[in-house]
Amino acid sequence: MAIIEGRFTDASNLRIGVVVARFNDLVTQKLLSGCLDCLERHGINTTDSSDQLDIAWVPGSFELPIVSQSLARSGKYEVLITLGAVIRGDTPHFDVVVSEASKGIAAVSRDTGIPVIFGVLTTDTMQQALERAGIKNNLGWNFALQALEMGSLMDAIQSRKPSS
């Protein structure tokens, strides 16, 4: 029996792409800073000269899938993180944006084999979004942790040798 799981201790070989939506950037900027804080504390080089980390900005969450797809296909990254905030109270087409973003991101992951973390907050109010982006807890940190786990897990799966 094999137990296959991701680790958080050696992220030195991971190359990570982060795709961030500008819409509701009061929230997404905070998610990004939580995300970068977690990556940095796990040994990822987050400086401007880093060749381990790239950050792409898109207009809104609706555009997260296409840019994630392009980055995933580039072959440059082991894992991608998407960050966005869709707020029901201010968005008559909330369901459309959330549905396209979530289905699109899942499809990119499956089609390319590159894990894409779904870091899109979907809340009823701006207050709830801000609470999840730092006032109470910064989920950007959690999304980064999930990316480290998935990157490491995929690596563990790929490096297993078939038993003879």
Residues interacting with ligand INI, by CB under 6 A?
A: 21, 23-24, 59-63, 84-87, 90-91, 97
Residue 111 CB, shortest distance to ligand INI, in Å, is 21
Residue 117 CB, shortest distance to ligand INI, in Å, is 16
Q: Which is closer to ligand INI, CB of 89 or CB of 113?
A: 89
Q: Which is closer to ligand INI, CB of 53 or CB of 85?
A: 85
93, 103, 110, 136: which one is catalytic? 93
Q: Which two tokens stand for residue 152?
A: 């490491």
Query: CB atoms < 10 A from the CB of 104, how many?
Result: 20
Q: Which is closer to ligand INI, CB of 31 or CB of 85?
A: 85
Residue 129 CB, shortest distance to ligand INI, in Å, is 9
Which are the contacts of 52, defined by CB distance < 8 A and separation ≥ 6?
Answer: 14, 15, 16, 44, 45
Q: Please give the backbone phi and psi of residue 71, each rounded to the nearest 5 degrees, phi first.
A: -65, -40
93 given a catalytic annotation: yes
Query: CB atoms < 10 A from the CB of 57, how many?
Result: 15
Q: Which two tokens stand for residue 101?
A: 């973003």
Q: Which residues are catalytic?
A: 93
